Chain A
Amino acid sequence: MLKVLKNRLEQGNRTSKYPKVPINLYNRYRGLPQINPDCDSATIKACATACPQEAIDASSCKIDLGKCVFCGQCETQSKGEFVKFTQNFEMGVANKNDLLTGGSLPALAEHSKKHFKKLFGRSLQLRQISAAGCNACEADTNVLNTPFFDLSRFGIQFVASPRHADGIHVTGPISRNMHAATITTFEAVPSPKVVIASGSCAISGGPFYGSDDIIGDLNSIIPVDLYIPGCPPHPITTLHALLKYFK
């Protein structure tokens, strides 16, 4: 018992004051990209070629954040002249088309559905479905339950059964082997329900796009309400998206 108290004193209170107090991430973190459309076209083309995810559309000077895995290759390739990643972690969107961006995203709060706020604003229970992928998204979603993020202080919880849930939070590119289980879990959630696609895998197939063994776009089998880009999304990106969309 004494050891518990001693450790408790040493550890102190670590819960973040976010969103009241802003969080600063280390300058190497790659969040929302800043795009310079006036960059010369050869550099833009080189970036598009270097992009492993084919996420850059050279003609419209846009990046698809649903495909992007935030590897930073375009920034290195253009030495920051075409793309520069900022430390802005606020990247959740309600419409998939908005993910194809020239560097700005619509304010999420204005795009959330009013009845969702009314229904789930004070209490939101989510069933997480891990539908293949690499487990990084799952790990960084789990982290929301650690003392620093402490998700439950916002009335949001991840629950064990779809029957207890208001919606599903899906990660991974939906392997063919997880197709049936994903649909079954979704159907087991009582209506009205929400669907969240988290991470570039669930949005576009992520690193595995083009593989015969995945479906690669959650929206093609279940209509998605909220998209959270990243590979994996930083926990604070997920937290921001959940708070803005539902609160």
Chain B
Amino acid sequence: MANLLQINNGETVQRSLIPHLAFADFRSELLTFANNGGQVVQFFGYEDDGVLKFLAVLRNEALFVVGCDEPESYQSLTTETEKFHMFEREIAEQYGVKPEGHPWLRMVRYHENYRGKEDVFGNDYKKEDIPGNYEYFPVEGDVIHEVAVGPVHAGIIEPGHFRFQCIGETVLHLEIQLGYQHRGIEKLLPSVPSVRRPIVIEGIAGDTAIGHSLCFSQAVESLASIKVDEGAKTIRVIALELERIANHVGDLGALSGDVAFNPPAAFFGRLRGEFLNLLLTLCGNRFGKSLVRPGGVTQVMGEEQKKIIRDKIRETRPELEHVCDLLFSEPTVRARFETTGTVPYEQAEKLGLVGYAGRASGLAYDARVAFPTECYADLTANTNEKAVGDVFCRANVRREEIMHSLDLIEKLVQKDGETANDPTFDYKLAPSSFVVSVNEGWRGEISHCILTDQDGAITRYKVKDPSFHNWTGLAMSLRNEGISDFPLCNKSFNLSYCGFDL
């Protein structure tokens, strides 16, 4: 711990203050931290004057940062703890550095690395068909069969490829292959003018538009010393909670549909729309796009909007309670939800699950409580009753979060005053600085890192959607489950493909 720099959420620090260790020390420091219950927030590579370096942001009760120079190849950290699994794959793909001994070194998003080095996976993306040389987890035997679905799925959903290795109807392993939505966002962000950045950020994941723009805006506000007034903070929190409610409600509907219980599927489907329409009331877009910008928000929330929100919550709260009761008290539903797709606490901790998936497995971490931003420090925290990590718990945690968020919004719309703050696009970022911003999006911990050079230009923009941690959790939840329970496990996690693919 002595070698780590403790930082605050959204606090700009001089890059020169970040401890720069020899790789061996860096490795042992990270492993000690992770093995003592710490989690990895970010672990990524960046180029500094042509030299490749690593940077890690870690958390326990506090946030820490530490860096090192890249060794040409290195002993994988994943061999010691699973917490680095995806991060090391990502670094290998982005910078062509091989983590030796990595137990499952596969491509993440199928693209050429940023440095023009030889591809670690032996692909040539000028010729190669996607997904390239991808060797699936091999399961062999006379009674083994594989089910392959995607990238174009049967519904109106994002592209991805799933491969179930089965014995009869039991899934031994589920291999999840993403990357089809790779749009090059991390490469795009530093290169586009500042007016375009919020638009690209909102395109990371449409259902988390508020969450990601909040992280982006806080990072920029910190680097450019922009103050945000209290009114704007209130609106941002209301928007983030509306986003949370809309998505949870929609997913409860999808879960109802997956157990063929159609009445709540229809009711939740309609109710989700009510909350998207509240976001439209705030800013003109059902996903909250165009609302949050560095410096504040683009539109004020006047008495008219407050009244619409208040009235709609008063109207929908009993309806939500009743439909939830209908779903959760039905014995046939409980029979399908309970003990299905269990990710026990120990596994969830090892994988570093975040958000409701983590909380449903008993990991209490909630970024709104641990690292509060905006006005979360003044608000009450949510608590979850039951957390054994099955589909029922993941659904029930969402039900509890919906009710909690309704309370928060009702409290916040009572606040007086309008916001006067104007968003800004004309800002200068502090030179040679680093900032990390962490927020609890509806899926869980979102974090953005920005590194600037000596002129204040962005040299590295790192995005992490909660899905980056949780996809592995979904794969684990399917182990030894019936393949027909996949939709339930999948919807109870509802992870982002695009947020992962970037």
Contact = CB atoms under 8 A, between A and B. Distances in A.
Interface of A: 3-4, 6-8, 10-11, 14, 25-26, 28-30, 50-53, 69-73, 76, 85, 128-143, 145-148, 158, 160-162, 172-173, 175-178, 180-181, 185, 201, 206-208, 210-214, 231-232, 234
A145 B322 CA distance: 22
A128 B156 contact: yes
A211 B289 contact: no
Contacts of B206: 133-137, 139, 232
17 contacts: A3-B325, A3-B329, A7-B263, A26-B281, A28-B282, A130-B156, A132-B498, A134-B498, A135-B205, A136-B209, A137-B206, A143-B273, A161-B154, A177-B130, A201-B203, A206-B203, A211-B184
Contact of B280 (A28, A52, A160, A201): A28
A32 to B, nearest CB: 13
B335 interface: no
Contact of A234 (B269, B286, B323): B286
A175 B182 contact: yes
Given A132-B498, A136-B206, A146 B269 contact: yes
A172 B326 CA distance: 36
B123 interface: no
B368 to A, nearest CB: 23
Contact of A181 (B159, B204, B207, B290): B159
A134 B184 contact: no
A213 B183 contact: yes
B214 to A, nearest CB: 16
Contacts of A175: 180-183, 501
Interface of B: 109-111, 129-131, 151-152, 154-159, 179-185, 187-188, 192-193, 195-196, 198-200, 202-207, 209, 250, 263-264, 266-267, 269-270, 272-273, 277, 280-287, 289-290, 298-299, 308, 318-319, 322-323, 325-326, 329-330, 425, 496-498, 501
B112 to A, nearest CB: 9
B404 to A, nearest CB: 22
B269 A135 contact: no
B241 to A, nearest CB: 18
A159 B113 CA distance: 37
Contacts of A72: 284, 290, 298
Given A7-B267, A28-B299, A71 B289 contact: yes
A9 B187 CA distance: 52
Contact of B270 (A6, A71, A146, A158): A146
A69 B157 contact: no
A134 B203 contact: yes
Q: Which of A50, A128, A129, A207 has the most CB of B within 10 A?
A: A207
A130 B157 contact: yes
A132 B181 contact: yes
B361 to A, nearest CB: 25
Contacts of B497: 135
Contacts of B323: 7, 11
B496 A135 contact: yes
A79 B253 CA distance: 41
Nearest to B112: A212
B202 A207 contact: yes
A28 B199 contact: no
B288 to A, nearest CB: 10
A51 B181 CA distance: 25
Given A130-B156, A146-B270, A173 B183 contact: yes
Given A132-B180, A158-B156, A177-B130, A8 B203 contact: no
Given A28-B280, A76-B298, A148-B270, A214 B199 contact: no
Contact of B286 (A53, A129, A140): A140
Contacts of B130: 176-177, 180
B179 A177 contact: yes
A136 B289 contact: yes
Contact of B184 (A73, A130, A213): A213
B325 A181 contact: no
A171 to B, nearest CB: 9
A71 B297 CA distance: 12
A137 B202 CA distance: 13
Nearest to B188: A211
B496 A29 contact: no
B155 A160 contact: yes
Nearest to A171: B156
Contacts of A212: 184, 187
A213 B195 contact: no
Contacts of B200: 207-208
A112 B129 CA distance: 37
Contacts of A231: 285, 289
A207 B286 contact: no
A8 B193 CA distance: 51
Given A7-B267, A11-B270, A138 B180 contact: no
Given A10-B322, A177-B181, A146 B273 contact: yes
Given A146-B266, A178-B181, A234-B286, A131 B111 contact: no
B17 to A, nearest CB: 34
A7 B325 CA distance: 10
**The 7 A-B residue pairs with the shortest CB-CB distance in the complex, in nearest-first order:** A136-B206, A213-B184, A134-B206, A160-B154, A207-B203, A146-B269, A28-B284
B181 A172 contact: yes
A29 B188 CA distance: 29
Given A173-B183, A211-B188, 20 more contacts: A4-B326, A11-B266, A26-B308, A69-B289, A69-B290, A130-B159, A132-B498, A133-B498, A134-B204, A136-B209, A137-B206, A140-B286, A148-B273, A177-B110, A177-B181, A178-B180, A181-B151, A207-B202, A208-B183, A232-B287
B270 A70 contact: no
A77 to B, nearest CB: 10
Contacts of A11: 266-267, 270, 319, 323
